[in-house]
């Protein structure tokens, strides 16, 4: 089984994407891809980029439901590879919308196995 992909966004943006059926992050038009993570990378990315925010969720994505390419790469010159989705995200590829609570000191810890909202 292929490992799911994860994308951090706001609850508001996730809700809007569910309504429209497609998700495009703010930087998509300029970059041409959507930044994603594997499960073990989510907390690190959240802590590096979103410290202290209380409005975040994580989209769990089944890459088999994507028609665009997914490339594991590091565009910042590091050794760790991150999946990038080169196309808009159909919400039909999102299997779950997971909470990303901000804990003590503004740090995130991605909850293992927490599922709050299933998407079809």
Largest CA distance in the chain: 39
Confidence of residue 5 (pLDDT cuts 50, 70, 90): very high
In percent, the amount of the chain with pLDDT more than 90 equals 72
pLDDT at res. 1: 61
Q: In terms of pTM, does the model score above 0.75?
A: yes
pLDDT in tens, 15-43: 999 999 999 998 899 999 999 999 999 99
Domains and CATH numbers, the chain: 5-101 (3.20.170.20)
Say yes or no to pLDDT of 100 above 70.
Answer: yes
CA distances from 92 to 8, 53, 73, 105, 111 (A): 17, 27, 25, 35, 23
């Amino acid at each position: 089984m292929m490992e799911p992909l994860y994308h951090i966004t706001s609850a508001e943006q996730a809700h809007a994407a569910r309504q429209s059926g497609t998700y495009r992050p703010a930087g998509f038009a300029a970059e041409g891809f959507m930044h994603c993570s594997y499960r073990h990378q989510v907390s690190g990315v959240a802590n590096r980029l979103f410290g202290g925010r209380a409005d975040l969720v994580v989209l769990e994505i089944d890459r088999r439901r994507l028609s665009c390419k997914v490339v594991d790469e590091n565009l910042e010159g590091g050794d760790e590879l991150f999946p990038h989705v080169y196309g808009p995200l159909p919400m039909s590829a999102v299997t779950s919308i997971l909470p990303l609570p901000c804990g003590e000191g503004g740090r995130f810890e991605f909850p293992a196995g927490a599922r709050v909202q299933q998407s079809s």
